[in-house]
Amino acid sequence: MRSLALHVDFDLNRPTGIGRYGFEILRSLDRTGRLSEVWVNRDQVSTELFKGLENAEVVPFPFPRKLSERLLPALAARRGISIVHNPLGGLLPAGIPQSAMVHDMGPFLFPDQKDASDTAAWRARLARVVQKAHVIVTNSRTTADDLLNLHPELEGRVRVTYLGVDHYTWHHDQVPGGKHILLVGTVEPRKNYGAFIEAYGDLVAGGLEPPVAIIAGGDGYRAEGVRRLVIDKGLSERVLFTGYLDDRRLRDLYSGAACLVHPSLYEGFGLTIPEAFSWNLPVASSDRGSLGELFRGSVWSFDPGNRESVAQAIRDALQKGVTAEQTKARKEVYHRFTWANCADLTVRALLHEAT
């Protein structure tokens, strides 16, 4: 039986977004019994993440790293490893077939939404993945289609392995606290907080008196423009910024929220939304990208480019809450998108097994 290895190319200290995928796919692949080795830097071997592995062996890169990056893949191939998976797309030098996850195509669709150096680095990494990876997996059909539109020559090498959302504990008896409107994510143009601020201002001006809004996320590219807009709109006492928060503090905000608003222009998957589901929160969400693909019907959807649409969805979330139809759709999301299923799809994709 063929087996695979996983290269820890993601940040072990940031279990969100890409890091969350790395953590969960490692654990889930290990449970399948098909993950034989996990390749890590020598200083990462004692990390708690690896102590609970059931089947895979943790293999540190021998010193020096640049030399061992070439030796380890070749030696692994001799040991019977068929392919090595790179969750962040940080491919190693040749020596063994490799796969990579492409998380989103934002730097191509919205090239001005991040710092130029970040965009250039992401594009360079993807160019290498396109050229070298034997298999490319994506986290949604949306991401796969966006990738194939740009690189049609990849047809046949791209497989969708939907992420899981079952790492979130579902708080079945949680009643939305109503203390604040919550937004979660780095303060940067792609998150489209400006559209929310405009719509929130319209709600205030229209007499709705919505709860205070809390934006929980570290400052990113052009964050100062978002903060300035809050001041210019006279909303400094009503729209608050927390900076980056750890999981404990973020849970406190979820547990006390009236609703979640997710105005993003583009997401490859959008884990923030099912996290809000786990707290039984009403959600007003953009319908762009994967958000419409994965969560339409379970949220109050809006056009992120239309402030009236944004304002109406927020109003519905606050006044109508979670409908019976949305509850049913959310249960389907939790049933469909599991990490066990993601691992199964990944094994089939990487080892070319029939579905």
Query: What's residue 111's pLDDT?
Result: 87
Mean pLDDT of 26-39: 97
For residue 233, how many C-alpha atoms fall within 13 Å in the half-sphere facing its CB?
23
Q: What percent of the chain has pLDDT over 70?
A: 99
pLDDT of residue 28: 98
Of 10-14, 116-120, 169-173, give the range with the top mean pLDDT.
Answer: 116-120
Mean pLDDT, the chain, whole residue set = 95
Q: Give the domains, in start order, of the chain with CATH numbers.
A: 3-164+338-350 (3.40.50.2000), 180-336 (3.40.50.2000)
Quickly tell me which residue has 């449970």 as its tokens: 31
Check pLDDT > 80 for residue 16: no
Please tell me the distance from the alpha carbon of residue 294 to that of residue 301, in angstroms, as a whole number.
Answer: 12
Q: Indicate the pLDDT class of residue 75, thresholds 50, 70 and 90.
A: very high
pLDDT digits (tens, 9 = 90+) for 196-244: 999 999 999 999 999 999 999 999 999 999 999 999 999 999 999 999 9
Token pair 């609703």: residue: 259
How do residues 278-337 score in pLDDT, each as one tens digit? 999 999 999 999 999 999 999 999 999 999 999 999 999 999 999 999 999 999 999 999
Mean pLDDT computed over 135-143: 98
Whole-angstrom Cα distance, residue 131 to residue 323?
46
How many other β-carbons are positioned within 10 Å of the β-carbon of residue 57?
A: 11
Q: How confident is the model at residue 354 (pLDDT cuts 50, 70, 90)?
A: low
Q: Which position has the higher pLDDT, 62 or 330?
A: 330
Over residues 100-113, the mean pLDDT reads: 91
pLDDT at 62 over 90: no
Question: Rg of the Cα trace of the chain?
Answer: 21
Biggest alpha carbon–alpha carbon distance for the chain: 70
> How do residues 153-188 score in pLDDT, each as one tens digit?
999 999 999 999 999 999 878 888 889 999 999 999
Percent of the chain with pLDDT over 90: 85
The closest of 185, 230, 190 to 212, measured between CA atoms, is 230
What pTM was computed for the model? Answer: 0.94
Cα–Cα distance, 343 to 351 (Å, whole number): 12
Which residues contact residue 335 at a Cβ distance below 8 angstroms, ignoring those fewer than 6 apart?
none
